[in-house]
Structure 1
């Protein structure tokens, strides 16, 4: 016997996604314009590297719009389980954009290093980097909170990239100051550090999104919590089979439970519904498939 619930659709999700997209697109567009102008007039390669990173952010902001729109489409005959896998796919595409930005940054920095570096005067670059770090810090907190509410891998990747941008802007600031007070090579060295931060963020984001795309299971601790929640329902004797699999950013739970085989059918169905409701109280769970079998059956 099996009972199924349809894919969950939580109220307010569309508004949260829309807010995150507006924040990301407008913030990144503003920053790339400011940074490019400052890098052009100052000649800082560290700031230019940071500008390349912001330019990739604008690109992935546009990809987010399309990907999240696709992921929110309801199930149909071509995608009966829904379109939620499009979201981690966009998250993975964002990591490619981040990787390219890292490559551009490290190449420019190495070229400047081989040229012997260049002293960068404090002033406009310093102000721009501090401004960028402050804006990105605000974007990180805002997007991270939305990502946690939605359990969105794309927005989680975006929040991680925003945090990385705070750190890379700080590194670029240190490089500019160092080129003026310590040695001209401090600027390209900082540019290389910027690129390393970008590569690190891209690797971590790719790892997480690949798990969502390839049907990875839930962490063992969460799986055990799901089993315990099911076994806490009155009438459930024990859970003898539980499989979890990511279908996009949220989990599908396939669970077999044992009950007293002499129970009336109506009572068995009620227990099944209660187990599903208990499982779907977990924010990580999208839907649950519960199979009921008499005690003694494996």
Structure 2
């Protein structure tokens, strides 16, 4: 009797994950250090807000390292289907850290707004923000490339967070530069915009990870792809039942297929294996379970 699901180590996959983690963690620690120092020296609240965002990214990175390490552990008797649900669980913890960063950015911006703003001398803040935007753009491209290879929703979310950071750094740059050239209130206004971007990213990440944890099903488009993959196997007459739900960040698909009732058992078993192989070849699907029934049997 098999007590746990089959597991085959994938060294290349693990190497790609390590690369993504080093890029994310190293880049965010570097950026929060230079932003915090520049914010302290310049007094820019927009830069402070952006530094708070980068601080949440460091926490995000550390939790992501821990979560992906747990999620990639092989199945065992305590978790016979694997540990993939740890990934979205850590994602919710990350969402809380992002929300705190947004609150801190909004609080600092409100305080600066109530005192009428402060003109920030151009130079260090603007240079740091432009540099940060460039680094984040590079991180976005690198993580997106790895996310596509790994079909990882977590890395896709991280890549989108990097893209949002490009926009927030740009907003903070406009605020810091505009506080001197246009009006001092532009600096806290830009800080508010940064906070809104953080809250938006936290909301989207929280909603996505809750779907993974609560067993949400596949989209209609993905369900059609699963049915088409199964029905492309010679011998499959139709799929009359499909149920999907997320087990962590990837799907489990349960299918009932109809075949000719006179098909020999050995051939039926081959058809079943081929359906499983084609469905599990879909990047979003982790595993598939197939039940074979004779033609016209729809229970």
TM-score (normalised: structure 2): 0.95
Partner SS for 1:89: helix
Corresponding residue of 1:146: 146
1:240 aligns with: 240
* Whole-angstrom CA distance in 1 between matches of 2:109 and 2:96: 20
Query: What runs of 5+ residues in structure 2 fail to find an aligned partner?
Result: none
Unaligned runs of 5+ in 1: none
Distance 1:44-1:119 versus aligned 2 partners, 3 A rule: same
2:65 matches 1:65: yes
CA deviation map 1:198-236 (0-9, x unaligned): 101111111111111111111111101111111111111
Match of 1:282 in 2: 282
Q: Distance in 2 between matches of 1:110 and 1:36?
A: 19
Show structure 1 runs of 4+ deviating over 3 A: 4-11
Q: CA RMSD in A?
A: 1.4
Q: Give the 3-state SS of the residue equivalent to 1:169 in structure 2.
A: helix
Give the match for residue 31 of structure 2. Answer: 31
In 1, distance between residues paired with 2:50 and 2:33?
A: 12
Q: Residue 21 of structure 1 aligns with which residue? A: 21
Q: Structure 1's 95 and 139: CA in aligned 2 closer, same or farther, altered over 3 A? A: same
Helix, strand or coil: the match of 1:12?
helix
Contact 1:245 1:253 in 2 (8 A): yes
Alignment of 1:150-161 (within 5 A): 150-161=150-161
Shift of 1:164: 1.1
Aligned residues: 295
Contact preservation (8 Å) 1:98, 1:198 = yes
Contact between 1:39 and 1:48, CA under 8 Å: does it hold in 2?
A: yes
User: What's the CA shift string for 1:136-161, capped at 9, x where partnerless?
Assistant: 11111111221222222322222121
- Post-superposition CA distance 1:10-40 (Å, at most 9, x none): 5511001100111111111111110011111
Q: Which has the higher contact order (CA 8 A, sep 6+)?
A: 1
Q: CA deviation at 1:7?
A: 5.6
- What is the aligned partner in structure 1 of residue 51 from structure 2? 51
SS across alignment from 2:251: strand
